[in-house]
Structure 1
């Protein structure tokens, strides 16, 4: 007589069910941790990814072997919010100060938002745009910027000669003037060579015709009929000239009626009650990204002006009847 000595392992449906519940719980907890750190995962590519893409740390891994330079920078804005700068407006002393340093030196940036809009900070080699921010040089981000009065600090060590730029990383703010140079080592700013220009002919002065300016009047209020749009391009000054930063600019609603705003622009915006520089605290969307919406219900009759904290030229009005 022969026997089969191989072992057979069995389990019960109850034990199988418990194991499935444990595995499901692990997946849920792991997923919650992963997505709660989503901003961290997308904040910068992993080093191996950067290498595969042909990227360069541009000093992110540089060693501090030289001097430490302290730089205090303040975000400021002109009264009409069209011109942005660090420390002083164009034409004034200390406007966007240039920083000179050697390879191995470290700059410690202390930045403070002395403006009325939202701002964030970083250093880049790119001579335009708001990308290519060097890890470690950031203070806040475009999606989580410094609010008025807030501050932060960061460091930058350059591993090679070159011209770097410190900028506001909120889209559009660099183009409005928030950019300064960091000159490392022997790098120099190329000066434009101007060709000799012949002396202009002396023309008889003719008194110019007086320019007739067309007065832009605020559009008549319209009954609310669906989401108020934050249109494409509203993150750049100009839409205020035609009152089209929020479309419609002025709506009327009944008390208790829900009002919805839709961000149809590529930049992040806010819908904040009050006037630029003077929010009144009645409602505030906080920063919401492209494709996002915000809604509020107002129960008291009256006029409710509002604006965008990031782009204060954007204004609108809701009238509650």
Structure 2
């Protein structure tokens, strides 16, 4: 049986209505996207989606430097740090308190490949704490290569520094970090009357993959350490010399932009300095300790906008 009249699945009027709706949705989406353009360009590539922030580690101001060296027995059946079993200095225990900063300077003194990290796990090579890694199993330290990392414990207990190459911990590359309770917090001194002025300007690499203050890595003036005394008056002046948006603050935890202290903020993530804008803030340095100055736009400190602010 055949039809002599065409069969319409819809009508021209309905088609036109549907097209009008689709165009309206596209226009509305475009308006929303460009309305938030400043936000999109303020975020570095790969950092638009972030997980929950790590719990803040409140620094005590005490730094514990630790030098470690991967060593191996001649038959490679025994691995260790600094010295083989039975020798002085073998896998030294590290004593620290909550809030202390343990800094690691690690060198591969063996002929194999090794990598480093701190973990609360009593066995295996997982659960490595962020910021403590030096290399990885897939990108280890080659013989004679070295690296640095740090660990600020936020809780009491026993942690372990290990080689994170599978099997190396079991062969002996494991040491303990024994963390006690936090010591009494230092208190801020009365105002000293001493005044300091610092310029900390935002700079960016051309591909926006490296951010910094004053100068890029390996250039003179890169992320300078700032040292003052408790009770000193500090004025920070910042100019945005980049093409993105930035904001400033002194924080207790460089991974937590919300941990700003002493009303030291210049702008904020929601109200940052635009390109070529400047700002300044004056505050009194608080309790002695190691703090950090960072860009408080999420992700920017991780790309290099971070320096040490030390209060003595």
Q: TM-score range by the shorter chain?
A: 0.3 to 0.5
TM-score (structure 2 length as normaliser): 0.42
- Which is greater in Rg? 1
Q: Which has the higher contact order (CA 8 A, sep 6+)?
A: 2
